[in-house]
Structure 1
Amino acid sequence: MTAFSPAVDNEHVIDATTFDGVDDGWFRVMFDASTVPIGLADEDGLLRAANAAYCAMVGRSWPQIAGRSSREFTHPDDLDQHAAVEGLMAQARARGDDLRIEKRYVHPDGTVRWGWVSVSAVSGPGGRAWTMAVIHDTTERRLAEDRLLAAAVTDPLTGLLNRRGWLERLTELDAPSSRTDSPLVLAILDLDQFKAYNDSHGHPAGDQLLVEFATAASEVAGTGALFSRWGGEEFALALAGPRASQAHTVLRAMGAVVPDSQTFSAGFAALRATETVIGCFDRADARLYRAKRDGPGQIRGDDN
C-alpha cells in the first residue's frame, strides 16, 4: 500500500498518488462515496482522514473530529478496550489476522451507535505506523436483540418483569460475589377471589385491574424494589436494604392501592445466611398459602 498523507483542507480525503493504477482523484471519490465508515489515524491515534459514513457513525462532521482521537466519542464502558487496541492488534498480527472488535460510539446528543470495527495497520508518511478502521454498523441488530431480550423477560400485559426475568435477577442476587450484609426480603402476592372478579366483570376488566395494580404497586414499592408478575393474578416482590426491614409496612401500603376495593394475600420471608434466594422464596410461598387459608387481605411473614 502506498504512503498516505494527512488531509490539508476541510475535505476528509486521503492524498495518495496511486492506488492499483487508479489515479488520486478516483481514489478520493471512492473513499468519500463509500457507504462503509472508514477512518485513518496516525501513529498517535489522531484522525487524519475519515469519510462521510464515518462522520455519520460518530455523529460529528469532519472539522469536528479532524486531529482528534476516537477515544473522545467512544462509550465510557469501552474505553479500556480502546486503550488496549495496540496490544490487541499485535496479538491479531501474530495470528495472521486483522483485529476485529465491537464497540460503541456516543453522539453529542447521547445517541449510541454499535459497530464491528476492523482495525488494520497501514503505512503512513515516512513509513510511520498508522491504522485504518473500517466499521460495520450493527446498531439495528443490537437494538433488535435488546428488544427480543426485553420481551423474553417482560410480562406483555403489565410491563413488569415476568417469572423468568425475576428469577434471573434473583439468581444474580444469589451469586457469592453479590452477597452483602444488606438484608433481603422476598414476597409473593395473590389477588383474592380474582376468578370471581373476572366472572362478574369480564376478562377485559380483570386485565385492567392487573395493569392498574401493577402500576400503582410499583410506585409504592419504589425504584429499589424488584417487582414482577409471577403469573396469573400472582406477583413477586424483592426488597433489599433498609426497605427490607419494612416489608410488612410496604406490603400493607401496596394492599391499599389494589383497584376497585379488591384485596390481596401475601407471604414474605427474609433471606437467611445459609440459604439460596430460591429457598427463601419457597418459604415466602408457604406463608402465602397460610395467609390465603386465614382469609382475604392477610399478610404472613417470618414473625406471624
Structure 2
Amino acid sequence: MENKYKEKIYFDSEQERKILSTAIEQSSVVILITDIEGNIIYVNSAFEKITGYSREDAMGKTPRILKSGLTSPEIYEKMWFTISNGGTWNGEQINKRKDGSLYYEDSRITPIYNKEGKLTYYLAVKHDITERKLLETKLKEIAIRDPLTNTYNRWYLMERFHQIIDNYKRVKNPFSLVILDIDFFKEINDSYGHQAGDYILTNFANIVNQNIRSYDIFGRYGGEEFILLLPDTDKENAYILVKRILNIIRNKPFIYEDISIKLTFSSGIIESSEISLDKISMDELIKIADSRLYEAKQTGRNKIVI
C-alpha cells in the first residue's frame, strides 16, 4: 500500500513537471534563467520569438547580448544591488534584438536558492511592452504638440518655461525668450483664405525648427504668435539667431496654389538677466518681450527689438 502511494506521488510530481514545462514553453512571456555568474542556461520559446536569438545563440552567453546602450547604468546598478542582496528587482529596460531593432520590456528578476540556502540561479520573467510604450509616447506627443504646426503647444511651452526659470535661479546661466509674430497675417487670411494661412503657419514653423538647436524650445503661443526659448543664450546671440531666421523668411517666396506670398515677422527679445532673481517670472518675461514685439510692430514691422 505504501509503495503504491509513493508511486502515485511520484507520478503526480512528474505530471506536474511536464505541465509546468509545457506552460513555460507556450507562454507569451519571456522566461530566462542564468547561473550565478550570469550565464544563460535556459530560455523559452517566447525569448526566441521576441529577441530573434535561438536557444543555441543564447546558451552560455549573458543577457548582455540584448543590451542596447539606451538603458541607464543606474538601472543596472540598482538591479544588481537588489538581486545580489537577495531581493527581487522590477524595472523597465530598452533592449536590442538580434536584428538590431529595439524593444521595451518590463522585467522581474528573482534570485533562486537551493535547500541549503545557497544562491544557485537567477530567474527573469520579461514582458514585451513595446506597443504600450510606443502608444504612451504617441499620446504624450499629441498632448504637447500643436496639431497644425506640430510645434509645442502653449501648455507645454509654459511647463518648460517654469523649468528653465527654476534652473536659471540655481545655476545662473542666462537664457533668452523670443516672441515672433507673423506680419500682416490677417491680410493673408482675408486675401487668400484660411487654408493659405494654415500653409503659412506650417511652413513658417518648419523653417524656424530647421534653424534652431535640438534643445531649444519652440512652440505656438496663439494664432500667428510663436515663442522661442533659448537656454544658455544671451540676448545678443539670440538676436543673431532670430536675424538669420528673419533673413531666410523674408527672402523666401511662399508658394500657395501658384500664388507667391512674401512673408516677414516681427520679434521681441528679452534676456533673463534683465530681471532680478527675486522678481523674475514667466509673466514678467513675456510682458517685457511682448512690449518689445509691440514696438517692432509699431515702428514698421519686419524687425527685431531687444
Q: What CA distance in whole angstroms lies between the structure 2 residues aligned with 1:42 and 1:125?
A: 16
What does 1:83-162 correspond to in 2, within 5 Å?
83-89=77-83, 98-123=88-113, 128-162=119-153
The alignment status of 1:54 with 2:47, answered yes or no, reads: yes
Are the counterparts in 2 of residues 271 and 277 from structure 1 also a CA contact under 8 Å?
Answer: no
Name structure 1 gaps, 5 residues minimum: 1-16
The aligned residue for residue 287 of structure 2 is 282
Are the counterparts in 2 of residues 101 and 118 from structure 1 also a CA contact under 8 Å?
Answer: yes
**Code of the aligned partner of 2:105:** G
CA 1:179–1:125 in 2, change beyond 3 Å: closer, same or farther?
A: same
Are the counterparts in 1 of residues 168 and 174 from structure 2 also a CA contact under 8 Å?
Answer: no
The alignment status of 1:291 with 2:292, answered yes or no, reads: no
Q: Give the CA deviation at 1:266.
A: 0.9
Which deviates more from structure 2 when the two are superposed, residues 191-200 or residues 276-285?
Answer: 276-285
The aligned residue for residue 185 of structure 1 is 176
Q: What CA distance in whole angstroms lies between the structure 1 residues aligned with 2:190 and 2:12?
A: 77
Are the counterparts in 1 of residues 86 and 111 from structure 2 also a CA contact under 8 Å?
Answer: no
Are the counterparts in 1 of residues 235 and 270 from structure 2 also a CA contact under 8 Å?
Answer: no
Are the counterparts in 2 of residues 189 and 234 from structure 1 also a CA contact under 8 Å?
Answer: yes
**Code of the aligned partner of 1:85:** M
CA 1:249–1:81 in 2, change beyond 3 Å: closer, same or farther?
A: closer
Are the counterparts in 2 of residues 114 and 142 from structure 1 also a CA contact under 8 Å?
Answer: yes
Q: What CA distance in whole angstroms lies between the structure 2 residues aligned with 1:111 and 1:180?
A: 39
Which deviates more from structure 2 when the two are superposed, residues 259-268 or residues 202-211?
Answer: 259-268
Identity rate, percent: 27
- TM-score w.r.t. the length of structure 1 is 0.79
- TM-score w.r.t. the length of structure 2 is 0.79
Q: What CA distance in whole angstroms lies between the structure 2 residues aligned with 1:135 and 1:75?
A: 16
Q: What CA distance in whole angstroms lies between the structure 1 residues aligned with 2:122 and 2:141?
A: 37
Task: State the SS of the aligned residue for 1:134.
Answer: strand
Q: What CA distance in whole angstroms lies between the structure 2 residues aligned with 1:205 and 1:75?
A: 45
How large is the RMSD of aligned CA atoms in angstroms?
3.0
Are the counterparts in 2 of residues 39 and 50 from structure 1 also a CA contact under 8 Å?
Answer: yes
CA 1:80–1:129 in 2, change beyond 3 Å: closer, same or farther?
A: farther
Q: Give the CA deviation at 1:164.
A: 2.0
Match for residue 234 of structure 1 among 225, 236, 243: 225
Q: What CA distance in whole angstroms lies between the structure 1 residues aligned with 2:149 and 2:66?
A: 37
Q: What CA distance in whole angstroms lies between the structure 2 residues aligned with 1:183 and 1:206?
A: 35
Q: Give the CA deviation at 1:181.
A: 5.7
The aligned residue for residue 219 of structure 1 is 210
Q: What CA distance in whole angstroms lies between the structure 2 residues aligned with 1:39 and 1:247?
A: 53
CA 1:134–1:140 in 2, change beyond 3 Å: closer, same or farther?
A: same
Which deviates more from structure 2 when the two are superposed, residues 289-298 or residues 274-283?
Answer: 274-283
CA 1:45–1:84 in 2, change beyond 3 Å: closer, same or farther?
A: farther
Task: State the SS of the aligned residue for 2:211.
Answer: helix
Are the counterparts in 2 of residues 92 and 99 from structure 1 also a CA contact under 8 Å?
Answer: no
Q: What CA distance in whole angstroms lies between the structure 1 residues aligned with 2:75 and 2:198?
A: 47
Deviations 1:112-138 (A, max 9, x none): 322222223334699642121111222
Q: What CA distance in whole angstroms lies between the structure 2 residues aligned with 1:19 and 1:141?
A: 40
